[in-house]
Amino acid sequence: AQSVTQLGSHVSVSEGALVLLRCNYSSSVPPYLFWYVQYPNQGLQLLLKYTTGATLVKGINGFEAEFKKSETSFHLTKPSAHMSDAAEYFCAVISGNTDKLIFGTGTRLQVFP
Amino acid sequence: DTGVSQNPRHKITKRGQNVTFRCDPISEHNRLYWYRQTLGQGPEFLTYFQNEAQLEKSRLLSDRFSAERPKGSFSTLEIQRTEQGDSAMYLCASSLQRNEKLFFGSGTQLSVL
């Protein structure tokens, strides 16, 4: 069965610091991987996705993620955090012949001035 | 593209009452998904439709839950005999085709007293 694990339910960084949010997936077949962001009182918004091809994926707002098959990881990074990045971030996976998106438990990012 | 619309935004009900939520997907999106999200958790898959056909239903969904998409456009999610454990944010999402990104609505927050 497919699943994702997000290490760290809370991450705190200073403004301008590197952001690293971790995601590991479990899938018996090549997965499609996604990162979504949820701002307070708003719906989920897609940051980026990996399907096939280039393993380094660039998304919106300066975020990027790298698919590493050997490590079954899809960590999300941003070189320099901004106050507006404070939100909940969810990693998700679709794999095989399933059609449903399976989410991790989320990581809340706090950015301090 | 007006986005995915969900109504109502908030619903407060007494235990044992029935509630119905509505979701209007992005026009021409033939896939429609329902998810449930509780505090501190990622969205949990409930069910999804391709056009008017309900293709999958989570085993977590009790018989008190029913969803319809009668004309392949909007969808309704009904919960009968609500319980306090049903309190959650109910999210709707749509996509154009399989494995494509999901567009989420802002959700319906259900509180069962």
Chain B CA closest to residue A32: B99
Q: In what order do the strands lie in the sheet with B19-24?
A: B5-7, B19-24, B75-79, B65-68
pLDDT at B101: 85
DSSP lists the bridge partners of residue B21 as: B77
Residue A96 has pLDDT above 70, yes or no: no
Min Cα separation B66/chain A (Å): 18
Interface probe, candidates A21, A99, A102, chain B, greatest B C-beta count within 10 A: A99
pLDDT at B99: 75
| CB neighbourhood size of A15 (10 A) | 14
Min Cα separation B45/chain A (Å): 7
pLDDT at B100: 80
Question: Do B6 and B21 meet the contact criterion of CB atoms below 8 Å apart?
Answer: yes
**Ordered per-residue pLDDT tens for chain B, 113 residues:** 579 999 999 999 999 999 999 999 999 899 999 999 998 889 999 999 999 999 989 987 889 999 999 988 999 999 999 999 999 999 999 998 877 889 999 999 999 99
Give A41 or B4, the one with higher predicted confidence. Answer: B4
Residue A100: which pLDDT band, with cuts at 50, 70 and 90? Answer: confident
Residue A113 has pLDDT above 60, yes or no: yes
Number of H helices, E strands in chain A: 0, 12
Give A75 or A51, the one with higher predicted confidence. Answer: A75
Chain A CA closest to residue B33: A100
Encoding tokens for residue B30?
């033939």
Residue A23 has pLDDT above 70, yes or no: yes
Name, in order, each residue with C-beta under 8 angstroms of A83's C-beta and a sequence gap of 6 or more.
A15, A111, A113
pLDDT at A53: 84
CB-CB under 8 Å, B107 with A90? no
* B chain contacts of residue A41, beta-carbon cutoff 8 Å: 106
Chain B contact for A90 (CB, 8 A cutoff): yes
Min Cα separation B81/chain A (Å): 27
* A chain contacts of residue B103, beta-carbon cutoff 8 Å: 46
Percent of chain B with pLDDT over 70: 99
In degrees rounded to 5, what are phi and psi of residue A83? -55, -35
